[in-house]
Amino acid sequence: MQTKLFPPLLISILLSGCATSPTGRSQLLIMSAGEMEQMGAQSFATLKKDMPIEHDPAINQYVRCVATAITNEVGGNWELVVFKEPSANAFALPGRKIGVHTGLLAVAANQDQLAAVLGHEVAHVLANHGNERVSQQTAVSQGMSITQAILSPQSALGQAGMGLLGVGAQYGILMPYSRAHESEADIYGLDLMAKAGFDPRESVTLWVNMGKAGGETPPEFMSTHPAHKTRIDDLLKQMPKALQLRAEAQAKGKNPQCK
């Protein structure tokens, strides 16, 4: 009987989870905001236990200055941790959590380039990309509880759940966002950094720097992203709007000075 009832039940779940992304793309979002926040909080707590934290006051002040300018545009109380890790990486999680690796600071050469990365990562959260991936996995697995799995982060299933949130690379499991997700985060993040008063043109320079830093092997942050030329072309198409948003932000007195 369960086999006969499952298809209608699944269809009901899929229909109830329909949503629209910031760019108008259809999304499947089965998980509630509360469930996603729980997953994000548990993942972040695990990372703080397992990864070394950077305590240098100057580094923390600088990263916090940039992150605060970005998050002020979206509201809420965001927790930021700078991890003492050599990889050029950053991430944001549901529940308003942001992690930045110190290795990123060697590639993001100024406040505007760092803002491009953080705007991109926060955009993933705002666009519910993590929820979308967890929902897709939940539907495909026909009942596998990612929410329960994340409560045991050291298990294989728990690590897979962390991968769905975008932080699994530290555990050898990387479940990349799709190119559609990455492109959305680029566009949304570009507008976000511009609204905060940062120079959106530096987003293009950032990707050039990322390419030079990676050589034949791109930095972790880039490893699942679209090709450089595609990404830069898309950013340049959005640049006139972003520059207008920045001009409006500066007219309101938003002029970050993070050093």
Predicted confidence (pLDDT) per residue in 82-115, tens digit: 999 998 899 999 999 999 999 999 999 999 999 9
- What pLDDT, on the 0 to 100 scale, is given for residue 165? 60
What is the distance between the alpha carbons of residues 132 and 21, in angstroms, rounded to a whole number?
Answer: 10
Q: Residue 180 domain-assigned?
A: yes
Q: Residue 19 domain-assigned?
A: no
Q: Which of 189, 184, 198 is nearest to 243 (CA)?
A: 198
Residue 18 binned pLDDT confidence (cut-offs 50, 70, 90): low
Q: Interior CA angle at 98 toward 71 and 26, to 5°?
A: 75
What is the distance between the alpha carbons of residues 186 and 234, in angstroms, rounded to a whole number?
Answer: 8
**Adjacency order of strands within the sheet including 79-83:** 79-83, 97-101, 90-93
Q: Interior CA angle at 225 toward 219 and 226, to 5°?
A: 125
Q: Answer yes or no: pTM beyond 0.85.
A: no
Predicted confidence (pLDDT) per residue in 197-236, tens digit: 999 999 999 988 877 765 444 444 444 555 667 788 889 9
Cite the active site residues: 121
- What pLDDT, on the 0 to 100 scale, is given for residue 73? 97
Q: Residue 224 domain-assigned?
A: yes
Q: Is the pLDDT of residue 245 over 50?
A: yes
- What pLDDT, on the 0 to 100 scale, is given for residue 252? 97
Q: Residue 95 domain-assigned?
A: yes
Percent of the chain's residues with pLDDT above 90: 48
Q: Residue 24 domain-assigned?
A: no
Q: Residue 15 domain-assigned?
A: no
| Sheet strands (E) in 84-204 | 90-93, 97-101
DSSP helix/strand/coil, 226: coil
Contacts of 140 (CB under 8 A, 6+ apart): none
Percent of the chain's residues with pLDDT above 70: 69
Q: Residues 25-50: what's their mean pLDDT?
A: 85
Q: Residue 9 domain-assigned?
A: no
Contacts of 257 (CB under 8 A, 6+ apart): 65, 111
Residue-range definition of the domain harbouring residue 120: 31-250
Encoded tokens for 118: 């953080």
Residue 154 Rama label (left phi>0; alpha psi -120 to 50; beta): alpha
Q: Residue 202 domain-assigned?
A: yes
Structural domains in the chain (count): 1
